[in-house]
Structure 1
Amino acid sequence: MAIYVFAHTKGGVTKTTTAINMAAMRAADGRRPLLSDSDSGQSSARFINARKLADRTPELVDIPFVSLVSYMQDDHSWYQIDQDILKLAKKFDDVLIDAGGEGHGSPEIRMALTIADMVITPCGTSRPDTDRLAPMDAMIRDARVLNPKLKAVLFPTRASTNARSSDVIDFYRDVARFKQYEVLETVVRTRDCYTKWLTTGEAVFEQKKPPKAALTEMAGLYKEIFNGR
């Protein structure tokens, strides 16, 4: 059993898109993954709802799901989701957590990092997106005090499909300052198929005519993240 956290403190970087595609691919690969939505935006929950309503033959692969969001208790302490995740993890092959929050103070991200085997951070290639990696880098450093086995990986998303664009090169140059991360080789580019799950509940490989380039990107990312696990 392994715990994977998909996290970024900035929205719109394809964090949920990555988590739900990896969960669906994991299920199709014969594993039993648990997808946990621990982001207050509950985008993964929207994916699961759309999936349940999808009229598909054959049916979409089953993805067990739970929503776990921290909240302020009467004594002003945060409800701890980490122990709930550890209890649930015993029943599954993998746990994939979609975690988000603003800045250094995100309790969901912080708690998830203390029990995770790996944190995966998709990040847009623009400077505003990469600048927001600073709090993630700091939280990973802090989490490794309690969880020294934590692996952290980063990859560019929403990259331009224009072969003349330098955005990916600029991204690699910019993120070198974040020392807690290993940068993956996979580059995920801007494609319409990556947002179809919002209405159809489908991962990319489940779509009727997904672009080959998108399938290649998702397959590459899957291999790098799970690496035969």
Structure 2
Amino acid sequence: MIILIGSNKGGSGKTTIACNLAVALAKNGNDVCLVDADRQGSAAKWHQEREAGEITPSITLVQKYDNLTKTMQSLDDKFSHIIVDVAGRNSREMITAATVADMIIAPHQCSQLDLDTLGELQEQIIRVMDLNPDLKVFIYQTMASTNVQVIENERQDFKAYVAEFPEFKALQSSGRYRKIYRDVMSDGLSVLETSNKQAIDEVTALYGEIFSHG
């Protein structure tokens, strides 16, 4: 299964989600490959720290740019799951990976700047689906508020906006704005390898929901 973590908005937590999902898959006994297709190389840096710390389970990482189609097809023959992390923009890497992906997870904050990019993403997905009609696209609310007074309204606003786009489905799970997500990345870790129950529950919920659709 090829899962593309991508959107047209930077700063939405794509690399964090990709790395946490890769660890979740590995911890559940899956043979997973993490593909860093963002020239900033954040996933590769995370992986380097993980390797240096000899942290298990180990994750296979591949760096690849430009046209990803043949690389994705080749990796799909070798690994049960491929997680692809692309840059936060309309990139060649995102489009070519989408043509062979089983699923796109598009992280967005509940902000107008983030949600305004869904129209552009919709146009891309319509064209990609001419080549990959079975592609599933899920919108994941990321960096959601932890303020109990605004959580429900923010969530309803997010779901209502996503519902305007028939090509997309809003995931029920969401990730909140927690410092732990940033802290563990520099150590090559996932929040699943910490004692932070709230963050663990968020990643576990995302993992469970994604693979119930798989």
TM-score (norm 2): 0.94
Cα deviation for residue 226 of structure 1 reads 1.3
**Which amino acid is 2:208 matched to?**
K
Paired with 2:36 and 2:24, the residues of 1 have a C-alpha distance of: 17
Cα deviation for residue 101 of structure 1 reads 4.4
| 8 Å CA contact 2:2, 2:72 repeated in 1 | no
Cα deviation for residue 175 of structure 1 reads 2.1
- The 3-state SS of whatever aligns with 1:17 is helix
Paired with 2:100 and 2:34, the residues of 1 have a C-alpha distance of: 15
1:214 aligns with 2:213: no
Matched residue pairs, number? 212
| 8 Å CA contact 1:4, 1:96 repeated in 2 | yes
Q: Deviations over 1:173-212 (max 9, x none)?
A: 22222221111100211111111233111001112x22x1
- The 3-state SS of whatever aligns with 1:226 is helix
TM-score (norm 1): 0.88
1:185 aligns with 2:172: yes
Paired with 1:206 and 1:228, the residues of 2 have a C-alpha distance of: 25
Q: Which of residues 118, 126, 143 in structure 2 aligns to 1:133?
A: 118
Residues 205/21 of structure 1: CA separation in 2 closer, same or farther (3 Å cut)? same
Paired with 1:50 and 1:101, the residues of 2 have a C-alpha distance of: 23
1:163 aligns with 2:171: no
Identity %: 33
1:23 aligns with 2:8: no
Residue 97 of structure 1 aligns with which residue?
84
Residue 58 of structure 2 aligns with which residue?
62
- Consecutive unaligned residues of structure 1, counting only runs of 5 or more, are 71-79
Residue 200 of structure 1 aligns with which residue?
187
Q: Which of residues 104, 107, 115 in structure 1 aligns to 2:100?
A: 115
Cα deviation for residue 31 of structure 1 reads 0.5
1:154 aligns with 2:177: no
Paired with 1:11 and 1:197, the residues of 2 have a C-alpha distance of: 20
Cα deviation for residue 88 of structure 1 reads 2.0
Residue 33 of structure 2 aligns with which residue?
34
Cα deviation for residue 214 of structure 1 reads 1.2
Q: Deviations over 1:120-164 (max 9, x none)?
A: 111111111111122222111111101001011112111110111
| 8 Å CA contact 1:152, 1:182 repeated in 2 | yes
Cα deviation for residue 63 of structure 1 reads 0.6
**Which amino acid is 2:125 matched to?**
I
Paired with 1:81 and 1:180, the residues of 2 have a C-alpha distance of: 23
| 8 Å CA contact 1:126, 1:167 repeated in 2 | no
| 8 Å CA contact 1:40, 1:101 repeated in 2 | no
Alignment of 1:73-88 (within 5 A): 80-88=67-75
- Consecutive unaligned residues of structure 2, counting only runs of 5 or more, are none
Paired with 1:46 and 1:134, the residues of 2 have a C-alpha distance of: 32
- The 3-state SS of whatever aligns with 2:29 is coil
Tell me which structure has the larger Cα radius of gyration.
1
| 8 Å CA contact 1:101, 1:108 repeated in 2 | no
| 8 Å CA contact 1:60, 1:206 repeated in 2 | no
Paired with 1:102 and 1:96, the residues of 2 have a C-alpha distance of: 18
- Where in structure 1 do 4 or more consecutive aligned residues deviate above 3 Å? none
| 8 Å CA contact 1:16, 1:43 repeated in 2 | yes
